[in-house]
């Protein structure tokens, strides 16, 4: 292969149903694989072209040969096994067919589109959770995933949580429950609240935002006229092909969400007491960030606040017998978690890079952008404000007969190339 944008090799691509395995390697016209911090399961889409006479119909049309779509037939739930190799790595997995659409049928051929999802992504909608759970949230997450999906320890990566929580499933699906638990989890001190539950090719992850953003970058990519014009192979593998900004701060929306400062009112139904706390980002400075320190508010606060949250404390509701203890006290995490989630999305960028199957949602990459200037170019090309570490929010690996690339949605919470721990 000339470089990582060249077409990739389908070492394995087949559909399996009732012990029948049919190759799709020479028929596939596109394959897109997706991961996201906001999705509890992997998904993919693919299209293939079938000219008929591909497989014998073992059902009503026994003895006749026809297309895979009608003769297998594809009705949902089939397994798609794939192993795709590119210059920088291999993407390998087995997914399930969620939906199949006959896009175009002619006399001699038909085009079929498949929507794919992970095995657990299908099973999740047929499972309810109604059991009671007590103790550390991270332990509960592992227990539920292992019991409901028969997952092994190696398929689950759970960051430690500091808070315990007593809860009973309300006939939710396991994924809905995991997403809720992520929002009420607190990391051990000195970290901040804020977790994501998601799936990558490595398995299921329940990860703290602070742990994610302090990772070492999994790659370094450059966006500049000089690099884009280069024909040097090693440089081409690390270039940013396309780049666009979806969001670069939105101060009004952030103020409406209470990112910079919020008033939080907590009501204790046992004692009838009302506690009132104002949280300010400047006073509750985040310990780690992807760029410079986050200790600012873009407007003068005058000791005021832009959002009011009201909460009823859970006192003894899920305890055995009579208890006055507060169940997972939201005063310890809720306002800070709201700040954390919103700040992480302060900057949102879309980039396209040469295909790198080693990258996953939740990885950190370093992006270096060219400073647009007409003077003092001898000082270097780097834009120190826009460049730096970014967290991968969404990821798509795309493969077709002509090319392969990786499209990323990147987010970060602050500006600058120097993080808190290396800026001196």
Cβ(388)–Cβ(120) below 8 Å: no
C-alpha Rg value of the chain to the nearest Å: 25
Helix residue spans in 53-136 (DSSP H):
68-71, 119-123
Q: Which of 390, 381, 392 lies closest to 414, judged by CA?
A: 390
Sign of the torsion angle spanned by Cα atoms 208, 211, 216, 221: positive
d(Cα 346, Cα 280) in Å, to the nearest integer? 17
* Most distant pair of Cα atoms in the chain: their distance: 82
Cβ(164)–Cβ(137) below 8 Å: yes
CATH fold of 9-117 reads Thrombin, subunit H (2.40.10)
d(Cα 347, Cα 251) in Å, to the nearest integer? 12
Other Cβ atoms within 10 Å of 397 Cβ, number: 24
φ/ψ of 141, rounded to 5, equals -60, -50
Tokens of 122: 């299908």
409 bridge partner residues: 350, 394
pLDDT at residue 420, as a whole number: 52
Q: Do domains 9-117 and 128-211 have the same CATH topology?
A: no
Tokens of 135: 């103790």
d(Cα 211, Cα 182) in Å, to the nearest integer? 14
Q: Which of 4, 2, 13, 37 lies closest to 361, judged by CA?
A: 37
- The per-residue DSSP string of 278-313 comes to EEETTTS--S--SSS-----SS--TT--S-EEEEE-
Top-level class of domain 216-250+344-412: mainly beta
d(Cα 419, Cα 259) in Å, to the nearest integer? 21
d(Cα 184, Cα 335) in Å, to the nearest integer? 11
Cβ(386)–Cβ(415) below 8 Å: yes
d(Cα 113, Cα 413) in Å, to the nearest integer? 38
H or E, element range at 334: helix 334-344
The stretches in the chain having pLDDT less than 70 are 1-2, 60-62, 225-235, 283-287, 293-303, 318-322, 373-380, 418-424
Q: Which of 133, 131, 145 lies closest to 40, judged by CA?
A: 145
Give me the residue spans of the domains in the chain: 9-117, 128-211, 216-250+344-412, 251-333
Tokens of 42: 């992997």
pLDDT at residue 349, as a whole number: 94
Q: Give the contacts of 159 (CB within 8 A, at least 6 positions apart).
A: 138, 187, 195, 206, 207, 208, 211
**pLDDT tens by residue, 322-338:** 678 888 888 888 888 88
pLDDT at residue 233, as a whole number: 46
Give rounded-to-5 percent helix, strand, coil for the chain.
20, 40, 45
Tokens of 23: 């190759």
pLDDT at residue 379, as a whole number: 57
Cβ(84)–Cβ(8) below 8 Å: yes
pLDDT at residue 397, as a whole number: 97
Q: Which of 302, 292, 394, 407 lies closest to 343, judged by CA?
A: 292
φ/ψ of 63, rounded to 5, equals 95, -20
pLDDT at residue 377, as a whole number: 54
H or E, element range at 181: helix 174-183
d(Cα 372, Cα 110) in Å, to the nearest integer? 49
CATH of 128-211, one of 3.40.50.1370, 3.55.50.20, 3.40.920.10, 2.60.120.1440: 3.55.50.20
pLDDT at residue 232, as a whole number: 43
d(Cα 271, Cα 288) in Å, to the nearest integer? 37
Between the alpha carbon of residue 129 and those of residues 132, 182, 269, 362, the distances in Å are: 9, 16, 27, 27
CA 27 to chain centre: 30
């Amino acid at each position: 292969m000339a470089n990582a944008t060249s077409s990739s090799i389908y070492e394995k691509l087949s559909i399996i149903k009732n012990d029948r395995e049919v190759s799709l390697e020479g028929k596939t016209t596109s394959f897109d694989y997706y991961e996201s911090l906001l999705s509890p399961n992997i998904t993919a889409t693919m299209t293939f072209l079938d000219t008929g006479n591909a497989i014998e119909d073992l059902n009503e049309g026994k003895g006749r040969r026809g297309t895979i779509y009608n003769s297998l037939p594809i009705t949902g739930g089939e397994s798609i096994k794939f192993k795709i190799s590119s210059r920088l790595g291999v993407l390998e997995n087995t997914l399930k067919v969620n939906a199949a659409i006959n896009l175009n049928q002619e006399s001699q051929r038909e085009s079929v589109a498949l929507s794919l999802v992970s095995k657990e992504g299908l099973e999740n909608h047929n499972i309810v959770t109604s059991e009671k759970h007590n103790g550390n949230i991270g332990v509960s997450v592992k227990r539920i995933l292992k019991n409901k999906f028969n997952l092994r320890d190696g398929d689950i990566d759970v960051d430690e949580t500091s808070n315990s929580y007593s809860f009973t499933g309300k006939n939710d699906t396991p994924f809905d429950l995991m997403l809720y638990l992520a929002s009420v989890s607190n990391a051990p001190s000195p970290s901040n609240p804020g977790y994501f539950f998601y799936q990558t090719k490595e398995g299921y992850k329940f990860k703290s935002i602070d742990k994610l953003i302090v990772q070492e970058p999994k790659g370094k990519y450059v966006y500049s006229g000089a690099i884009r014009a280069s024909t040097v192979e090693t440089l081409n593998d690390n270039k940013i092909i396309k780049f666009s900004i979806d969001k670069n701060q939105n101060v009004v929306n952030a103020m409406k969400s209470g990112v910079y400062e919020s008033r939080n009112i907590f009501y204790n139904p046992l004692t009838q007491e009302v506690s009132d706390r104002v949280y300010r980002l400047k006073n509750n400075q985040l310990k780690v960030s992807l760029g410079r320190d986050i200790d600012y508010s873009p407007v003068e606060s005058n000791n005021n606040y832009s959002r009011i949250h009201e909460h009823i404390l859970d006192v003894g509701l899920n305890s055995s017998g009579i208890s006055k203890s507060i169940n997972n006290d939201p005063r310890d995490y809720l306002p800070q978690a709201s700040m954390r989630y919103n700040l992480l999305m302060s900057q949102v960028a879309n980039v396209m890079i040469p295909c790198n199957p080693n990258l996953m949602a939740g990885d950190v990459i370093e992006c270096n952008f060219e400073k647009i200037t007409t003077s003092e170019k001898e000082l270097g090309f780097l834009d120190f404000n826009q460049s730096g570490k970014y967290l991968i929010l969404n990821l798509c690996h795309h493969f077709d007969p002509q090319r392969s690339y990786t499209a990323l949605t990147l987010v970060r919470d602050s500006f600058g190339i120097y993080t808190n721990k290396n800026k001196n």
